[in-house]
Amino acid sequence: MADLTMCSEVKRHLTEDIIPFWKSLRDDVNGGYTGYLGYDLKPDKGAVRGCILNSRITWFFANACTLLKDESLLAEAQHGFAFLKNVCWDRKNGGVYWSVNCDGTPAETMKHTYNQAFSIYALSSYYEAGGDREALDMAYQLYDLIEGKMRDALGYKEAFDEAFREIDNEKLSENGVMADRTMNTLLHVFEAYTELYRVDRDPRVADRIRWMMDLIAEKIYNPRLHRQEVFFDSRWNPIIDLHSYGHDIETAWLVDRGVEVLGDDAYRKKMSPITQDLTSQIYQTAFDGKSLANECERGVVDEWRVWWVQAETVVGFLNGYEKTGRREYLDAAQSVWAYIRAHLIDRRGGYAAGREWYWRVRKDGTPDGAKPIVEPWKCPYHNGRMCFEVMKRQIGG
C-alpha cells in the first residue's frame, strides 16, 4: 500500500495538473484532442492524430471519472469515444486506423493489433464509466476481429493493411530489427482483455487471458536471464539481446492484475513466481536508488529516464511490496515518485492549463528539449494510470 503523503501528492498532481492539461487540448471543432505539442509548449492543431493517442485519452478520462466521481470527466470520455467511433473506425473493413488527419480523413490506414487492443481498453473502461452498451458492443467487434484475423496458432500477429493483409511490423519494431511478434503487443492485448473481462466476465475472454499467460510464461519470460525477451521471429525465437526494464516492471504488475481479475488459483501459482522474479531483477539491475534506466541492449545501458518507465516503476514496486511485503520496494516506489516530482513534471509554466511530464530526462534530471510534450505515443496513459493505481492502493483506501 502507498504512503498517505504520497497518495495525497499524487491525487493533487492528477487533479490540478494532468486532468486540466488534457482537458485544454480538447478540439470541439474537429473532434478528439490536439495531437502534438512541442517542447516549446506550442500546440499544432493541424497535426496528425494517432488513434492510439485518442484511445488512451478516452481510457484516461473514463477511469478518472470512475475513480473521482466527476461527471465533467465523463463528458471528456464521451468526446473521445465519439472521435473513435466516427473518425478512427474503418466502417468498410472494420477495425481502427493507425492515425487520422485533423479534418477526420484517414492518414495511415494500416491496422495494428496493438492499436485494436488499446481501443478495446478504452471502450471497456468507457462502458464501465457511462454504461454505454454501444461501446461494449464495439469492444467485442474488435475482440472478434483480433481473434479472427490477427492471430494464428502460435500467437498474435502484428501489422496489417486496411483490408487485413499482413505487412511489415515497422510500428512496433525498434533497435534495428523487424519483428514478426513482440512482447509489447502481447502484453497490451493481455491488458485490454483483462479490462474487457473485468467489466463483462465473458468466459471466451477468460480463456484467451489464460492462453496469453501461458505464452508469457513459456515464450516471453527467460528464467535464465530473469527477464522477458522483447522481439521475436514468427516462431517466438528472440532476435535481439535486449532487456527492456520498463516493460518488465510493467508486465509484473499487469500480469498480477490479470491473475486477480481472472481469479484462477492455478494461474496465480504459475505466474506469481515469474512476476516476483521480474520485479526483483529490475530492483537489483536497473534501479539506482532514485530512478530507473530505460533498457540494456547487448550489454549497453540506455541511461535516459523515460517518462513512462518511471511511471510504471512506481506502480510495479508498489505492487511488489503488496505481494511480498519487502519494504525496500515501497521505499523504491516513493523514491521514484520523488524523482518524478523533482525532474519529470514540467514546471516551466507558459501553457494555458495544467502540467504534463517531459518525454525523457538525463540521469541528472536535465530534460531532452528535442522531444515534444504531446505526440502520438505521449499521452496521459502511463502517468495517469500511475496516479490511479497509487490512489487505489492507499493505506486505508
345 domain-assigned? yes
Percent of the chain whose pLDDT exceeds 70? 99
- Side-chain-facing half-sphere of 310: CA atoms under 13 Å: 30
110 domain-assigned? yes
208 domain-assigned? yes
Residue 356 grid cell: 504534463
CA dist 172 and 182 (Å) reads: 7
pLDDT tens-digit map of 302-357: 999 999 999 999 999 999 999 999 999 999 999 999 999 999 999 998 777 899 99
Q: Is the pTM of this model over 0.85?
A: yes
* pLDDT, averaged across the chain: 97
Give the per-residue pLDDT at 4.
Answer: 84
CA dist 246 and 299 (Å) reads: 16
Task: Give the CATH number of the domain where residue 21 resides.
Answer: 1.50.10.10
DSSP state of 259: H
397 domain-assigned? no
274 domain-assigned? yes
Question: Cell 475472454 appears where?
Answer: 205
Give the per-residue pLDDT at 1.
Answer: 63
263: left (phi over 0), alpha (psi -120 to 50) or beta: left
Is the predicted pLDDT of residue 134 greater than 60, yes or no? yes
The helix (run of H) or strand (run of E) holding residue 270 is helix 265-285
Which DSSP string corresponds to 33-66?
Answer: B---B-TT--B-TTS-EEHHHHHHHHHHHHHHHH
CB 231 within 8 A of CB 240: yes
Give the per-residue pLDDT at 367.
Answer: 98
pLDDT tens-digit map of 117-132: 999 999 999 999 999 9
Give the per-residue pLDDT at 397.
Answer: 38
Q: What is the mean pLDDT of residues 243-255?
A: 98
CA 276 remoteness from chain centre: 20
Is the predicted pLDDT of residue 208 greater than 70, yes or no? yes
pLDDT tens-digit map of 354-396: 999 999 999 999 999 999 999 999 999 999 999 999 999 985 4
Radius of gyration of the chain (CA): 20
Give the per-residue pLDDT at 191.
Answer: 98
- Side-chain-facing half-sphere of 235: CA atoms under 13 Å: 0
CA dist 16 and 10 (Å) reads: 10
371 domain-assigned? yes
Query: How large is the angle between the packed helices 381-392 and 4-13, nearest 10 degrees?
Result: 140
Is the predicted pLDDT of residue 235 greater than 50, yes or no? yes
138 domain-assigned? yes
Residue 73 grid cell: 470527466
Which DSSP string corresponds to 271-332?
Answer: HHHHHHHHHHHHHHHTB-SS-B--EEETTEEE--EEHHHHHHHHHHHHHHHHHH--HHHHHH
Q: Identify the domain containing residue 274 by its residue range.
A: 4-392
Q: What total of structural domains would you count in the chain?
A: 1
Residue 320 grid cell: 511488489
